[in-house]
């Protein structure tokens, strides 16, 4: 493999990895605070993509407005989902709330099939994102540059928020011990709602970025990225924001490099993600950056 | 009164019971044969959802125009095989065991059809594939028929087109490795192209991907360094559209060539400007009607759905009418008799060309080449077998 091809593959991998990282952050946020694996995350991601699509096509908004509206609506939707499907079960055994999450995921998928139609829809990509740069023979789509930047900005903002603001402090308190946090006069319901709002907004951003990179929307589009980004979050250490980014990048790079260097194994590239998960869990059960039951945000 | 009352009562009761029994039997009998059930076995969700929905459109239109046969109403039982081989087997079982259909239409996609095939054969229910082009769909399965051409033919004409018309010297192959249709078509293409070019090395690269994949940049980057003239990439329309899009973003200028699965509006919508010039073989052209039935089909389809039919919609329309034709000739809706009548189908004028079912239960039909021009499919040429 010559250098130019390798650089091209590296750019491809980085672009995919940072997209995974972006989605994985949302998983890890919700888990970090609530110890809840939000299986519906991939489906909220799908809803975000569709809302942006309808904003542009049905309501004829300019793309930036459609994106903002889609993120806002998805945020409200995610908070609503928590109210309906998770909050009533907060004091139930953990397994109940997990099953409720799986149920919510199936409900959203099938509802989307009914409402949005199962036929794939083409997502409108603004010229700004479709532009293409050539850097010493390496082709870089502008969306491949934008996604890592968005991921980095979100990472920085979340780290600052969790570690340096009062809300973040409350989040960490809820994460450590819900009952003790309540005794300290922390409004747990509010903190959980805020967490879900952030998680859903991140899912919406992820969904839109994904649709910009792969402009095809379908009701089940969230399942595979959802699963992979969950793996990414676990590999990095679920609950750790930095870990989610690391896991996402790692997963994207491994997936693409498998295809690049071992083309005959292409059919198994998804299997590599799962094998990696098993290996990491065997060697370091808490994930690469996870800490043992310590501060989990 | 010679006969005691008690005896009369017993007799009456007996007669009533008999009458009831008879009526129950006749009821269930007429219940079975009042309507003729045709199962529609299609992917309505998942990666092939659009293809399945287009075939269903064609079948439903045919059912609306020809709602009865032998004086009985024809009822369609539509099941979703979810673009998944396992779900397809379940859906097929539902059709033959629970719904007890007289015949089956479908499925879009050879893999899905093959998944249902053994189940239809075991239940001795005839099935007519609409656009499943892989030879193994009907091979060795006495109950599977089809109204479209086969991949050995399609692969061959594509290779000839690449060699003679496009004057390709170097060809790369991209296969959807989990799809029997794509792998089979690619093989037939490669065999023929190597023969035409007289050089094994004319195929410069082969890359694989999985159904449902979104990112093909690694495969395309690998192919790019060989600088092929033509890339033959048979596979699902949405994945294929994304492949072409990503290839253009990587600065690749090769001509893309594909099979009948690309003949879907979703291919144009997802691909946008990137798929301009993409060329493929298919069953039917909207802009050039083949015969009177095609004209009638095009008109009623446009009136009914207010859109242009996909090629597979025409084939779905034909599959339904071929089954009705078999039922008429058999003068029975019994699955076994329909099956036997289907084998005798000869010179049936379908909207996508004349259909004669041969000994292998396949239809010998011509292929149409289309290309994408100004965001529309445009007819290029017809290739006869």
Tell me how close the Cα of B308 comes to any Cα of chain A, in angstroms. 16
The model's confidence at residue B129, banded by pLDDT at 50, 70 and 90, is: very high
Reply yes or no on whether the pLDDT at A34 is more than 90.
no
For the four alpha carbons of A259, A263, A264 and A267, in that order, the dihedral sign comes to: positive
Residue B345: per-residue pLDDT? 93
CB contact under 8 A, B225 and A2: yes
- Provide the CA A131 distance to its chain's centre, in angstroms: 25
Question: CA-to-CA distance for B43 and B296, rounded, in angstroms?
Answer: 27
Residue A288: per-residue pLDDT? 85
Contacts of residue B218 in chain A, CB cutoff 8 Å? 9, 12-13, 256-257, 259-260
Q: Per the domain annotation, does A50 fall within a domain? A: yes
A127-168 pLDDT, tens per residue? 888 788 888 788 888 888 899 999 999 999 999 999 999 999
Question: CA-to-CA distance for A43 and A114, rounded, in angstroms?
Answer: 14
CB contact under 8 A, B219 and A266: yes
Residue B19: per-residue pLDDT? 45
- Provide the CA B292 distance to its chain's centre, in angstroms: 22
CB contact under 8 A, B250 and A8: yes
Residue B94: per-residue pLDDT? 95
Classify residue A171 by burial, with Cβ atoms within 10 Å: 0-12, 13-18, 19+: buried
DSSP type of residue A263: G
Contacts of residue A270 in chain B, CB cutoff 8 Å? 210
B172-215 pLDDT, tens per residue? 999 998 888 899 999 999 999 999 999 888 999 999 998 888 89
Q: Per the domain annotation, does A269 fall within a domain? A: no
Contacts of residue B224 in chain A, CB cutoff 8 Å? 5, 8
Contacts of residue A266 in chain B, CB cutoff 8 Å? 177, 207-210, 219
CB contact under 8 A, A260 and B215: no
Q: Peptide bond preceding A183: is omega within 30 degrees of 0, i.e. cis? A: no
Contacts of residue B242 in chain A, CB cutoff 8 Å? 214-216
What average pLDDT does the segment A209-223 reach? Answer: 90
Residue B9: per-residue pLDDT? 55
Q: Per the domain annotation, does A116 fall within a domain? A: yes
**Rounded-to-10 torsion of CA A197, A200, A201, A205:** 170
Residue B7: per-residue pLDDT? 52
Structural domain range at position A191:
17-221
Reply yes or no on whether the pLDDT at A279 is more than 80.
yes
**Nearest-10 crossing angle of helices B217-224, A241-261:** 40
Structural domains of chain B, with CATH: 34-149+289-365 (3.40.50.2300), 152-282 (3.40.50.2300)
Mean residue pLDDT of chain B comes to 88
Question: CA-to-CA distance for A198 and A190, rounded, in angstroms?
Answer: 12
A262 touches chain B (CB under 8 A): no
The model's confidence at residue B314, banded by pLDDT at 50, 70 and 90, is: very high
CA-nearest of B118, B132, B110 to B89 is: B118
Q: Per the domain annotation, does A246 fall within a domain? A: no
CA–CA distance from B100 to each of B38, B117, B335 (Å)?
Answer: 9, 16, 10
Question: CA-to-CA distance for B189 and A195, rounded, in angstroms?
Answer: 54
Q: Per the domain annotation, does A210 fall within a domain? A: yes
pTM: 0.81
B271-294: burial string, b at 16+ Cβ within 10 Å, e else: bbebbeebbbbbbbbbeebbeebb
Residue B341: per-residue pLDDT? 95
Quick one: what percent of chain B has pLDDT higher than 70?
91
The contacts of residue A46 (CB under 8 Å, 6+ apart) are A108, A109, A112, A207, A217, A219, A220, A221, A222
CB contact under 8 A, A132 and B251: yes
B219 touches chain A (CB under 8 A): yes
In chain B, the residue whose alpha carbon lies closest to the alpha carbon of A141 is B249
What average pLDDT does the segment A214-220 reach? Answer: 89
Cβ count within 10 A of residue A278: 10
CA angle B297, B301, B305 (to 5 degrees): 175
Instruction: Please name the residue ranges forming H helices in chain B.
Output: 5-33, 49-65, 85-93, 110-122, 151-160, 180-197, 217-224, 237-249, 265-271, 292-305, 311-330, 335-343
A206 touches chain B (CB under 8 A): no
Question: CA-to-CA distance for A212 and B249, rounded, in angstroms?
Answer: 13
Residue A295: per-residue pLDDT? 46
DSSP type of residue B363: B
B227 touches chain A (CB under 8 A): no
B273 touches chain A (CB under 8 A): no
Q: Are strands B35-42 and B68-69 parallel, antiparallel or unpaired?
A: unpaired
Residue A50: per-residue pLDDT? 96
A259 touches chain B (CB under 8 A): yes
Q: Per the domain annotation, does A143 fall within a domain? A: yes
Q: Per the domain annotation, does A39 fall within a domain? A: yes
**Rounded-to-10 torsion of CA A286, A288, A289, A291:** 20
What average pLDDT does the segment B213-230 reach? Answer: 91
Contacts of residue B221 in chain A, CB cutoff 8 Å? 5, 8-9, 12, 260
The model's confidence at residue B285, banded by pLDDT at 50, 70 and 90, is: confident
Question: CA-to-CA distance for B229 and B203, rounded, in angstroms?
Answer: 10
Contact criterion met (CB below 8 Å) for A31 and A238: yes
B50 touches chain A (CB under 8 A): yes
CA–CA distance from B50 to each of A1, A145, B56, B303 (Å)?
Answer: 39, 32, 10, 20
CA angle A286, A288, A294 (to 5 degrees): 45
- When divided into structural domains, chain A yields a total of 1
B224 touches chain A (CB under 8 A): yes
Residue B28: per-residue pLDDT? 38
Reply yes or no on whether the pLDDT at B343 is more than 60.
yes
CA-nearest of B193, B218, B195, B198 to B208 is: B218
Q: Per the domain annotation, does A91 fall within a domain? A: yes
The model's confidence at residue B21, banded by pLDDT at 50, 70 and 90, is: very low
In this structure, of A84-98, B130-144, B309-323, the range with the lowest mean pLDDT score is A84-98
Classify residue A3 by burial, with Cβ atoms within 10 Å: 0-12, 13-18, 19+: exposed
Reply yes or no on whether the pLDDT at B22 is more than 50.
no
Residue B365: per-residue pLDDT? 86
Residue B46: per-residue pLDDT? 77
B218 touches chain A (CB under 8 A): yes
Quick one: what percent of chain A has pLDDT higher than 70?
97
What average pLDDT does the segment A111-140 reach? Answer: 84
Question: CA-to-CA distance for B126 and B134, rounded, in angstroms?
Answer: 18
DSSP type of residue B357: B
């Amino acid at each position: 493999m010559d250098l130019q091809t390798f650089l091209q593959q590296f750019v491809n991998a980085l672009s995919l990895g940072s997209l995974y990282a972006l989605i994985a952050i949302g998983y890890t946020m919700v888990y970090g605070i609530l110890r809840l694996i939000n299986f519906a995350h991939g489906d909220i991601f799908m809803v975000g993509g569709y809302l942006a699509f309808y904003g542009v096509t049905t309501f004829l908004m300019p793309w930036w407005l459609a994106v903002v509206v889609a993120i806002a609506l998805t945020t409200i939707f995610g908070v609503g989902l928590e109210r309906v499907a998770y909050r009533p079960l907060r004091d139930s055994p953990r397994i109940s709330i997990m099953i409720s999450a799986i149920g919510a995921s199936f409900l959203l998928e099938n509802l989307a099939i009914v409402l949005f139609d199962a036929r794939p829809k083409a997502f409108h990509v603004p010229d700004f994102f479709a532009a293409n740069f050539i850097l010493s023979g390496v082709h870089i789509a502008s969306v491949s540059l934008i996604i890592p930047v968005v991921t980095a900005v979100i990472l920085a903002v979340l780290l600052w928020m969790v570690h340096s603001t009062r809300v973040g402090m409350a989040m960490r308190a809820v994460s450590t011990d819900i009952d003790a946090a309540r005794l300290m006069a922390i409004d747990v319901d509010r903190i959980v709602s805020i967490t879900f709002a952030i998680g859903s907004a991140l899912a919406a951003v992820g969904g839109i970025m994904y649709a910009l990179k792969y402009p095809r929307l379908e009701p089940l589009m969230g399942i595979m990225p959802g699963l992979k980004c969950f793996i990414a979050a676990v590999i990095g250490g679920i609950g750790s924001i930095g870990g989610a980014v690391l896991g996402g990048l790692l997963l994207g790079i491994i997936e693409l490099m498998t295809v690049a260097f071992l083309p005959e194994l292409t059919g198994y590239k998804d299997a590599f993600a799962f094998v990696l998960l098993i290996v990491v869990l065997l060697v370091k059960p808490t994930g690469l950056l996870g800490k043992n039951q310590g501060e989990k945000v | 009164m010679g006969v005691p009352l008690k005896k009369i009562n017993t007799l009456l009761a007996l007669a009533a019971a008999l009458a009831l029994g008879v009526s129950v039997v006749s009821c269930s009998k007429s219940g079975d044969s009042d309507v003729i059930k045709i199962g529609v076995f299609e992917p309505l969700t998942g990666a092939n959802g659009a293809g399945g929905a287009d075939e269903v459109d064609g079948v439903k239109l045919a059912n609306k125009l020809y709602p009865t046969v032998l004086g009985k109403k024809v009822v369609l039982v539509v099941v979703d095989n979810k673009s998944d081989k396992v779900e397809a087997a379940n859906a097929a079982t539902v059709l033959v065991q629970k719904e007890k259909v007289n015949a089956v239409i479908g499925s879009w996609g050879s893999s899905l059809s093959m998944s249902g095939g053994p189940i239809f054969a075991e239940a001795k229910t005839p099935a007519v594939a609409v656009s499943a082009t892989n030879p193994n769909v009907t091979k060795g399965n006495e109950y599977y028929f089809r109204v479209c051409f086969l991949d050995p033919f399609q692969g061959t004409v594509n290779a000839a087109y690449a060699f003679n018309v496009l004057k390709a010297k170097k060809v790369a192959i991209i296969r959807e490795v989990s799809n029997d249709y794509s792998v089979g078509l690619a093989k037939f293409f490669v065999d023929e192209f190597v023969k035409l070019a007289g050089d094994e090395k004319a195929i410069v690269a082969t890359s694989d991907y999985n159904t449902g994949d979104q990112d093909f940049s690694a495969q395309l980057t690998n192919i790019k360094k060989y600088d092929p003239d033509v890339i033959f990439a048979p596979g699902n329309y949405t994945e294929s559209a994304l492949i072409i899009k990503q290839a253009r973003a990587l600065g690749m200028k090769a001509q893309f060539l594909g099979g009948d699965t690309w003949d879907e509006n979703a291919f144009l919508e997802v691909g946008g400007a990137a798929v301009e010039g993409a060329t493929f073989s298919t069953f039917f052209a909207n802009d050039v009607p083949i015969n009177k039935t095609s004209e009638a089909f095009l008109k009623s389809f446009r009136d009914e759905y207010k859109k242009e039919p996909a090629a597979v919609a025409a084939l779905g329309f034909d599959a339904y009418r071929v089954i009705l034709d078999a039922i008429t000739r058999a003068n029975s809706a019994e699955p076994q008799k329909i099956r036997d009548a289907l084998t005798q189908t000869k010179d049936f004028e379908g909207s996508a060309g004349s259909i004669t079912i041969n000994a292998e239960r396949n239809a010998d039909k011509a292929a149409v080449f289309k290309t994408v021009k100004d965001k529309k499919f445009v007819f290029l040429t017809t290739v006869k077998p």
